[in-house]
Structure 1
């Protein structure tokens, strides 16, 4: 297997890992799964020679994990400044600015928004990555980001329809107490 196809295989692994992330209603699980995906796809971009995208993806993995613990403005700005400084120092072609921009707006969304708004901003970020990945020739990256674009778009529509019917699709589901426990107490 040549190095090129090894790099493409890592991209396909990222595709398999990340394909279901936008189905999560839980923001915590959503961010955790995106972190794993970002780590794998970041490695893929570095192997493909796209350092700006690789840096943005690895910063995204860290950012996603940290955003699970804090929504602090100063932490958000640290990640935006890191993304801009590292990404801008590595880009060679104007199209490489798209993942830097996409990562910056998704950073803002993960720290400052919730639910449907997060997914809408992530959809815009994904559009930037799709264009970049097609330009780069990344098979796995194009497949996963194209899939994210479609799945997240369909889920945005589905979640919005639920909201219009008065259902909060992002409400944490509570388990009802077990009836088996009550039956045992009744004996």
Structure 2
């Protein structure tokens, strides 16, 4: 089996891990599954030779785990600076700026927002990753990020409709945050 197909297989594994992530209402479980997905897809990108995306994805994994423990603005800025420094140093094509921009946006969201706002920012970040993955020719990456756009988009609409009916879809999350 060639390295190309091994890389694609790792991308498909990431797809399997990530496909159910956005249906989770509990932010902690959502973030932990996002971290696992990010690490696997980062490995996929490195295997595909997309080092800027690989760097962004692996930083995403560490950032996401840490964001379950702290919402410190200092920690957030450390990850944004690392993303820019490490990611920008690997950029060879303009389209490779999309995952870096998406990582910066999602870093801000994971440290400074919650609930529906987090999911909306993540949806915008995902749009950049989809574009990058299609350009790269990443089968698993394109499938998963395209799925994220659809699944997260549907859940954003669903959660918003619940809010308009007076139901807090993130009640368990708000309760957990208040007890920390």
TM-score (norm 2): 0.96
Distance apart, 1:141 and its partner CA: 0.1
After TM superposition, list the pairs within 5 Å mapping 1:159-170 onto structure 2. 159-170=159-170
Distance in 2 (alpha carbons) for counterparts of 1:36 and 1:75:
20
Flag as ranges the 4+ runs of structure 1 deviating above 4 A.
none
Distance apart, 1:102 and its partner CA: 0.2
Tell me the secondary structure at the aligned position of residue 39 of structure 2: helix
Partner residue in 2 for 1:171 = 171
Partner residue in 2 for 1:83 = 83
Distance in 1 (alpha carbons) for counterparts of 2:129 and 2:61:
15
Partner residue in 2 for 1:157 = 157
Distance apart, 1:3 and its partner CA: 1.0
- The answer as to 2:22 corresponding to 1:22 is yes
Distance apart, 1:148 and its partner CA: 0.2
Distance apart, 1:127 and its partner CA: 0.1
Greater Cα radius of gyration, structure 1 or 2: 1
- The answer as to 2:28 corresponding to 1:51 is no
Distance in 2 (alpha carbons) for counterparts of 1:3 and 1:80:
31
Partner residue in 2 for 1:119 = 119
Tell me the secondary structure at the aligned position of residue 171 of structure 2: coil
Report the number of matched residues. 174
Partner residue in 2 for 1:130 = 130
CA deviations on 1:37-70 (whole Å, 9 max, x unpaired) are 0000000000000000000000000000000000
Distance apart, 1:2 and its partner CA: 1.1
TM-score (norm 1): 0.92
CA deviations on 1:105-160 (whole Å, 9 max, x unpaired) are 00000000000000000000000000000000000000000000000000000000
CA deviations on 1:140-185 (whole Å, 9 max, x unpaired) are 00000000000000000000000000000001189xxxxxxxxxxx
| Unaligned residue ranges in structure 1 (runs of 5+) | 175-187
| Unaligned residue ranges in structure 2 (runs of 5+) | 176-180
